[in-house]
Amino acid sequence: MDARPTLLVIAHGSRDPRHAATVSALCARVRALRPGLRVEVGYLDFNAPRVPRVLERLSSEGIRDVVALPLLLTRAFHAKSDIPAVLREAAARLPLLTVRQAEVLGPSTLLTAALERRLEEAGLRPGDRRSTGVVLASAGSSDPEAIAVIAEIAREWRRTAGWCAVRPAFASASLPRTADAVRALRAEGAHRVAVAPYVIAPGFLPDRIAAGAREARADILAPVLGPAPELARLLLRRYDRSVVAGARGQAAALTA
């Protein structure tokens, strides 16, 4: 049996079939990057299999160590509350199974690299950066920490990538909306405005981002991050970090 912990990718789930298809494609890319690593997917809602069922199956197969990785870009309600609650409940029912929750994916330079890849795929040329304002459009959250993180990503991305400006926008819960951010960049004199969805998979809120970009006549609308190679590498980076932290914790317990 492989001694490496199983990677359980935890996705939110959606009624939109594109969501699950995107998650599957991303996990396939992770498996290709790390042959032999067992990668499972569990959903919090809407899709099957749900996280508890996956953990039950793994335990019944003799798996004893799992890294649960939230497929989330910010540390908001799902990462702080929903997922820990699901994992605690599973731990109570499956005492032989050790499950560690890994960090959320963002922020990371790999994510901004994936955003830039998507913008170039949508038609933005590298030489256009100085005259382009970018709307960093996320799903949105009522969590102040998550909102502050998005704002900081926007500031840092502008500083390091050389954009004319980068403005955060949100599809729900927070303001400004995508269309308003596009109009603000135009008013500030941006020659070109591009919308970069800071979301992983298609669905209701990404469609709202796209609608806002079209409403305000953005020059470029990038696709969602999807199974970008940078995103697959980031999943493995978070997995590896969790494995190392778990090994250190075990060593500390043995020497205590």
Which pLDDT belongs to residue 14? 96
Which pLDDT belongs to residue 147? 95
Q: What string of pLDDT tens digits covers the 256 residues of the chain?
A: 468 999 999 999 999 999 999 999 999 999 999 999 999 999 999 999 999 999 999 999 999 999 999 999 999 888 999 999 999 999 999 999 999 999 999 999 999 999 999 999 999 998 999 999 999 999 999 999 999 999 999 999 999 999 999 999 999 999 999 999 999 999 999 999 999 999 999 999 999 999 999 999 999 999 999 999 999 999 999 999 999 998 877 655 444 4
Which pLDDT belongs to residue 252? 52
Which pLDDT belongs to residue 251? 53
Tokens of 54: 């996956």
The Cα–Cα gap between 170 and 181 comes to 9
Which pLDDT belongs to residue 255? 47
Q: Domains, the chain, ranges and CATH?
A: 6-105+228-255 (3.40.50.1400), 109-221 (3.40.50.1400)
Tell me the residue length of the chain: 256
Which pLDDT belongs to residue 250? 65
Which pLDDT belongs to residue 254? 44
